[in-house]
Amino acid sequence: MSSEPGRIDPERSEQRDLAVGDTIVRYTATDRTNHWIVAIAFVLAALSGLSMFHPALFWLSNLFGGGSWTRILHPFIALVMVIAFASWAARVGSDNRMTATDWRWLARWRDVVGNHEERLPEVGRYNGGQKVLFALLIVCLAGLLLSGCVIWRAYFAAYFPIPIIRAAALVHAVCAFALVTLIIVHIYAGIWVKGSVRAMTRGTVTSGWAWKHHRAWFREVTGAARSRPGAD
């Protein structure tokens, strides 16, 4: 590795699927495709759900061919979102387990907000905030899936009493509101941390970005590259 922090010496890095020149692969094409399927499905599910939430928003149903088609398509779009997210979660779940370092990172939230990352503990592929967001997304999606099945008139609603259906509708609305809020936070954070959007569009980040924001992950990735036979 180069003596200059934040750069990878190309002559000493032969694991081309991890590090190429001054960039590091953060997300594969499969990862990015999965992410954008979830993102697109979320937008469609949110718009169709909002059209049924309040009469003032019913005009949004025109995007889906009218009220009847909106009611038909909404749960299926939501299922696509949940299945795609579950596939993503299965791949990155191990990277999102909370550690003592993550709790220390969260405790320094003032430095996080103040962008004083030099004062924060080194984090791996995901920081404590991202891991908390990941856990909350799982809770919200699980709540939406279970409550959605209860109020899905075409298939399951007939098996539940009216009070349960009403309670499920309330849970569905609360989880949907929480999910939309979390996604707004996710988008804001992605824009706020310069270079993060590139990770989900091109799949790579600069080694300087990795060194600054996810230094433990940077050490792991570049260390793996150097440890391969013939890498030196």
DSSP 20: E
Residue 219 within any structural domain of the chain: yes
Residue 17 within any structural domain of the chain: yes
DSSP 158: G
Residue 6 within any structural domain of the chain: yes
Residue 141 within any structural domain of the chain: no
Containing 204, the helix (H) or strand (E) segment is strand 204-206
Mean pLDDT of the chain, nearest integer:
86
Could you list the active site residues?
186
Residue 209 within any structural domain of the chain: yes
How many domains is the chain partitioned into structurally? 1
Residue 128 within any structural domain of the chain: no
pLDDT tens per residue, range 91-141 = 999 999 999 999 999 999 888 888 788 888 999 999 999 999 999 999 999
pLDDT tens per residue, range 37-87 = 999 999 999 999 999 999 999 999 999 999 999 999 999 999 999 999 999
- Report pLDDT for 4: 44
User: What is the torsion angle, in degrees rounded to the nearest 10, for the CA atoms of residue 138, residue 58, residue 187 and residue 183?
Assistant: -20
**Tokens standing for 17?**
């699927």
Q: Please, which residues have CB within 8 angstroms of residue 129's CB and are 6 or more apart in sequence?
A: 105, 106, 112, 189
Residue 13 within any structural domain of the chain: yes
Domain housing 13: 1-26+203-227
Query: Within 13 A of 78's CA, how many CA atoms are on the CB side?
Result: 26
The C-alpha atoms of residue 71 and residue 51 are separated, in whole angstroms, by: 9
